[in-house]
Amino acid sequence: MWEESDMEKAIKETSILEEYSINWTQKLGAGISGPVRVCVKKSTQERFALKILFDRPKARNEVRLHMMCATHPNIVQIIEVFANSVQFPHESSPRARLLIVMEMMEGGELFHRISQHRHFTEKQASQVTKQIALALQHCHLLNIAHRDLKPENLLFKDNSLDAPVKLCDFGFAKIDQGDLMTPQFTPYYVAPQVLEAQRRHQKEKSGIIPTSPTPYTYNKSCDLWSLGVIIYVMLCGYPPFYSRHHSRTIPKDMRRKIMTGSFEFPEEEWSQISEMAKDVVRKLLKVKPEERLTIEGVLDHPWLNSTEALDNVLPSAQLMMDKAVVAGIQQAHAEQLANMRIQDLKVSLKPLHSVNNPILRKRKLLGTKPKDGVYIHDRENGAEDSNVALEKLRDVIAQCILPQAGENEDEKLNEVVQEAWKYNRECKLLRDTLQSFSWNGRGFTDKVDRLKLAEIVKQVIEEQTTSHESQ
């Protein structure tokens, strides 16, 4: 098994430019850590994907866990990793980064691939499922929970009919030691015990229930729940648990459906789909983890090993051809991931009467309160006015995720960002972030993804707090 020392030895400190040419303009995709780019090995002219992360402990852990799993044919390979100082055009000085060279996946994401098939059959869905299950089995045998299993993280090697599908992005993966308390998920793919862990976690913070000596945890079985949802979507083109109400948090009706395992197989799309397929979905979407299929149970299931033709054409390809619908679903997923990542950092929710945040304190004096009467408060820096710079950053997060009803949200956001910048001009991460969001010094010139901004500002707070503690 890959130990941390093994990973450190594997990371090269020589310049990546000695071995690779990087195409800085061609982007394969984009995430919160920035775009994935194309690089070319000089000695062979072979194309690879290049992911660039700030060189931090979290990034090194992602690399370590991915390296541990990457020997499997259904997991995207890491070719090599460089630790270099890189300076982008908008930066005033170089910054330490990890440059992760990975195999190129030319075939695109799962949803996109299905939408390209005029005749995507149940047999093909079964074959894709088997490959995903084999990737998960490999992770789970290494005691790693992926925690972000969704169609966007399943990529095809190329455009050939028999191209393998591979699992990528280990940014939220963790060693499963029975203590995976971090609520990290995308709404349509979230397991009920993740919601239960989140619910208990929030109640404990609010003092509603005493902190349990053995808190409700979730583990690798959540990956299996997510697999069940993915199979359902592949077969019919829509998720089993959905809400008519678009929201930045999981709506109550969707939450109730997930917690009770309430889903159906509507006749219009499911009449031609085999009972074997429905059976594997039912057994994966069990609310109680102990009743859910294990990964070995999935791989042994008749649907994955059937000799029947299963050549019925699925309705999912037709439904997924509507790019606007797919984009809307993916945007909702991205918002939920960002929302959960904010909670992943050291943030607690406190009643309005305890408020130290200047924006919300002012609202309290005016007799108004934000939605749900809560505000974002950092546990480690809770003393009033203990650090004005950090308070100004927290104001930005408050405005991003709890804007006051009736005020001009854009103007208010510009105002609090100006204040945060005034007190944090030396912070490179904040400077880089504002530039990437088209900040001109007085306001944003483009539409802002507020949850993404809030997430990065939380990273700024974390970085600033760590910096202050080390001084």
- Residues with catalytic function: 148
Structural contact between residues 403 and 412, judged by C-beta atoms closer than 8 angstroms? yes
Specify whether the CB–CB gap between 13 and 82 falls below 8 A: yes
Q: Do 443 and 432 form a contact (C-beta atoms < 8 A)?
A: no
Residues with Cβ within 8 Å of residue 461, at least 6 apart in sequence = 345, 378, 390, 393, 394
Strand order in the sheet with 47-54: 11-12, 78-86, 95-103, 47-54, 34-41, 20-31
Burial status of residue 92 (CB atoms within 10 A of its CB: 0-12, 13-18, 19 or more) = exposed
Dist CA 306 CA 254 (whole Å): 33
Q: Which of 223, 219, 174, 177 is nearest to 196 (CA)?
A: 219
CB 274 within 8 A of CB 310: yes
Residue pair 86/138 in contact by the 8 Å Cβ criterion = no
Residue among 231, 278, 239 nearest 129 (CA)? 231
Q: Name the token pair of 65.
A: 């866990």
Q: What's the distance, CA 424 to chain centroid?
A: 28
In sequence order, the 6+-apart residues with CB closer than 8 A to the CB of 160 are 107
**Alpha-carbon gap, residue 114 to 128, rounded angstroms:** 11
- Side chain identity, residue 76: V
- Answer for the pair 377, 356: CB distance below 8 angstroms, yes or no: yes
